């Protein structure tokens, strides 16, 4: 299991939108420069954020803006917007354990609830952190530089 870089790219995008909104027109090219990624990747992530109602995108001077207040966006909201996990969850189980083997026959029974608990813990942690906290921590570190 590994969460893709889309999640951290999305958080980076949202921090930039908030922190630079007064000084720059935030565009995908501007964001690509900050993130160090191809603008196409940035636009793909932004499309997912827009579709989820987290950002607004307009051409011209206004650029990209947050569609909701910082404290109303959680890391979980961002995660759900950009990660492509389906109803089966984060963890993928190998498809064909040998049912003739005592381990193969029982590994799902042993692991399923544990993996579900791990995913729930991750999601609860993400739900408990707002974008406002991430932006505040980022601004504090910037001001200390």
Once rounded to an integer, what is the mean pLDDT over residues 43-57? 95
* Residue closest to 84 by CA, chosen among 61, 116, 117, 52: 52
pLDDT at 1 over 60: no
| pTM of full prediction above 0.75 | yes
* Predicted pLDDT at 66: 94
- Once rounded to an integer, what is the mean pLDDT over residues 87-93? 72
**Which class is 5-144 in CATH?**
mainly alpha
Surface-to-core class of residue 96, CB atoms within 10 Å of its CB (0-12 exposed, 13-18 middle, 19+ buried): exposed
Q: How far apart are CA 82 and CA 45, in angstroms?
A: 6
93 pLDDT higher than 90: no
Locate 70 and state its tokens: 């910082």
Question: Which residue, 120, 126, 115, 118, is CA-closest to 10?
Answer: 126
| Model confidence pLDDT, tens digit, residues 30-46 | 999 999 999 999 999 99
Q: pLDDT tens digit string along 57-86?
A: 887 666 789 999 999 999 999 999 998 666
Instruction: Please say if the pLDDT value at position 20 is more than 70.
Output: yes
Distance separating alpha carbons of residues 145 and 134, to the nearest angstrom: 17
């Amino acid at each position: 299991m590994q969460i893709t870089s889309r999640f951290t790219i999305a958080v980076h995008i949202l921090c930039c939108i908030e922190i630079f909104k007064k000084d720059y027109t935030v565009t995908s090219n501007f964001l690509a420069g900050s993130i160090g990624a191809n603008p196409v990747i940035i636009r793909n992530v932004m499309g997912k954020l827009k579709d989820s109602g987290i950002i607004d995108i307009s051409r011209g001077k206004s650029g990209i803006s947050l569609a909701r207040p910082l404290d109303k966006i959680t890391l979980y909201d961002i995660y759900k917007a950009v990660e492509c996990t389906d109803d089966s969850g984060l963890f993928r189980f190998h498809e064909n354990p040998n049912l003739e083997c005592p381990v193969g026959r029982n590994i799902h029974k042993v692991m399923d609830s544990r993996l579900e608990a791990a995913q729930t813990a991750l999601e609860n942690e993400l739900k408990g952190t707002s974008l406002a906290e991430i932006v505040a921590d980022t601004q504090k570190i910037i001001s200390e530089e």
